[in-house]
Amino acid sequence: MSLKKVAVAGATGVVGRQMLRVLEDRNFPVASLKLLASERSKGKTLTFKGEEVAVEVLSEDSFKGVDIALFSAGGGTSKKYAPFAAKDGCVVVDNSSAWRMDPEVPLVVPEVNPGDIAKHKGIIANPNCSTIQLVVVLKPLHDAATIKRIVVSTYQAVSGAGSAALAELDAQMRDCLEGRPVQCKIFPHQIAFNCIPQIPQSGAFEDNGYTNEEMKMVNETKKIMGDNSIMVTATTVRVPVHTGHSECVNVETLKKLTADQARELLRKAPGVVVQDDPANQLYPLAVNAQGKYDTFVGRIREDLSHPSALEMWVVADNLLKGAALNAVQIAELL
C-alpha cells in the first residue's frame, strides 16, 4: 500500500483513540496524521508511534490534502463535515449512523461485502457495532443455506455509550457497594447491577415500539447482506459490562444446517473464532474478547422448536471490530 495522508475526526473520544491504536497495530501506511476534535480538545496531544501529535479543531477546511479520514465524532458532525471532506477529494469512513441507510453510501463490513466499497462517492459508512459482529457470523451461513429469519437479543457493554457512561457505571458500582444512593445522569435508570432494555439512553423508541438501535440492526443487516427478504427482529439491552457486546442469535435457514456443519463453516470464515466446547465450559465471554480483533461464536446448537434453525452466542469487542477495527479495515481496502 502507498503512503496515505490520514485524518481522524473525533480523535479524543473512546473510539477515536482506538482508531489510532489500530492504525498503529496494523502498520497502516500513514504518511502524515491529522487529529481533529471539537474546540474543547484544543491543545491536547495524543501519542502515535511514539510521537506526540497535537489535536486540531475540526473545521470545513481540515481535509485539504488528506487522502482518508476516519470519522467518529457523532452523526451531526459527520453530516456537517463529511461532505466538505469528500469535496476536497478525501474519502471518509464514517462511524456514526448519519450515512448508513443513504442509498448512495455503501455500508461495509470487509468480511461480508467488500465489493460495495467500489460504489463510494467519497463517503463509506461503518455499520452499528452490534450489527457488525452479527453479520460477520451470518455471512457464511447465508451463503451455504440462505437465511430466512434472524432473531437477535443483545447484551451491550457500557463503553458503547461513551466515556461518560463508563464513568457513571464505575461511580454507581462504588455507590451501591458502599450503601450510597446512585446518581443517574447518562442512563435513564441505574446501570450498576442492572440491565436496561433501551439503547440509546434517550429518544430511543420509535412508533413501532422498537428502539433506534433495534431498527439499526434490522435495516443495516439487510443492506449489508444485500437481501431485503431476510426477516430480522432485535431486542437490544445495555448491561453493566465495560467492553464487549454479546448476542444471542437464532437463525432460520431455507436449507437445514446441522450444528456440526455450521461450526465447520464458521471455522473457515474470516475474522471468526469458534469457541464451542460447553463440556469444558468453553464459550465466548466479553472479558476474553476485550482487546481482540476477532468475532467469537459458540453455544452453536440446533433449535429444538424449529426443524431448520440454529441458536448461537456471538461476542466481540465493540470498540474494535464493532467500530475502530472495521473502519481501518475499510481504509486498508481503499
Contact between 330 and 124 under an 8 Å Cβ cutoff? The reply is yes
Q: Which three cell numbers stand for residue 219?
A: 435495516
Paired with 30 in beta bridges are 4
* Catalytic, out of 90, 120, 142, 245: 245
Q: Please state, in angstroms and as integers, the Cα–Cα distance from residue 32 to each residue in 2, 35, 85, 325, following that order.
A: 12, 10, 16, 19
What is the C-alpha to C-alpha distance for residues 307 and 85, in angstroms, rounded to an integer?
Answer: 51
Query: Containing H/E element for 70?
Result: strand 68-71
Q: Which three cell numbers stand for residue 144?
A: 451455504
* Catalytic, out of 90, 120, 129, 142: 129
Contact between 16 and 8 under an 8 Å Cβ cutoff? The reply is yes
Active site residue 129: yes
- In three-state secondary structure terms, 288 is helix
Q: How many residues does the chain have?
A: 334
Paired with 312 in beta bridges are 249
What is the C-alpha to C-alpha distance for residues 306 and 311, in angstroms, rounded to an integer?
Answer: 10
Instruction: Identify each DSSP E strand in 157-305 by its residue range.
Output: 231-238, 245-253, 272-274, 295-302
What is the set of active-site residues?
A: 129, 245
